[in-house]
C-alpha cells in the first residue's frame, strides 16, 4: 500500500507525498491511479488554478475529465468542497475508505459513509 506512509502528512498544493514532506490531493490521486495502470488527466493546470484560488477554473477542468457515478468504487474520486480552503478531491481506496489531505489534520483515511453520494466520479478513460 503506497499511501500508508502518507497518513499525517500536511496539505500543500502541488506537493508530492512520495517526498514525505507534504501532500496534494491531485498529486496523490494521480499517483494512485497510475499505480493501478489507470489514466489520469494532466494536473499542472489544476494545481496552478488551486495555487491561485481560481476555484471555478479548477472545478471546470476537473468536471471535464470525469463522469459522475452513483455508487463509489475503488479508485473513484470524491469532490470535496472545503470552504474557505477551496475544493479538493479524495480517492477511494481498496479498503473502502477515502484518502484525502485534511486542512489542519493532514492526510487521512476517512470512511466513505462520511461523503455525499452525489459527489463521486470516475476519471474518463
Q: What does the pLDDT look like over 71-100, one tens digit per residue?
A: 999 999 999 887 777 888 999 999 999 999
pLDDT of residue 1: 67
Question: What average pLDDT score do residues 100-114 get?
Answer: 90
Q: How many CA atoms lie within 13 A of 110 on its CB side?
A: 19
Question: Residue 49 pLDDT more than 70?
Answer: yes
- Give Cα 12 distance to the centre of its chain: 12
Cα gap 79→121, rounded to integer Å? 8
Provide the number of structural domains found in the chain: 1
Cα gap 94→101, rounded to integer Å? 17
Range of the domain at 99: 4-123
Could you tell me which of 88, 83, 122 has the C-alpha nearest to residue 108? 88
- Give Cα 80 distance to the centre of its chain: 9
Q: What does the pLDDT look like over 5-14, one tens digit per residue?
A: 999 999 999 9
Task: Assess contact for 33 and 40: CB atoms under 8 A.
Answer: yes
CATH code at 51? Answer: 3.90.1720.10
Of residues 31 and 85, which shows the higher confidence score?
31
Amino acid at each position: 500500500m503506497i499511501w500508508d506512509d502518507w497518513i499525517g502528512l500536511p496539505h500543500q498544493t502541488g506537493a508530492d507525498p512520495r517526498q514525505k514532506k507534504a501532500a496534494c490531493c491531485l498529486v496523490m490521486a494521480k499517483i494512485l491511479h497510475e499505480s493501478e495502470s489507470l489514466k489520469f488527466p494532466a494536473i499542472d493546470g489544476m494545481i496552478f488554478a488551486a495555487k491561485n484560488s481560481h476555484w471555478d477554473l479548477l472545478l471546470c477542468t476537473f468536471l471535464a475529465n470525469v463522469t459522475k457515478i452513483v455508487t463509489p468504487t475503488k479508485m473513484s474520486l470524491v469532490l470535496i468542497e472545503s470552504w474557505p480552503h477551496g475544493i479538493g478531491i479524495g480517492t477511494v481506496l481498496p479498503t473502502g475508505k477515502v484518502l484525502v489531505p485534511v486542512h489542519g489534520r493532514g492526510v487521512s483515511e476517512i470512511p466513505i459513509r462520511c461523503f455525499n453520494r452525489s459527489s463521486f466520479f470516475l476519471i474518463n478513460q
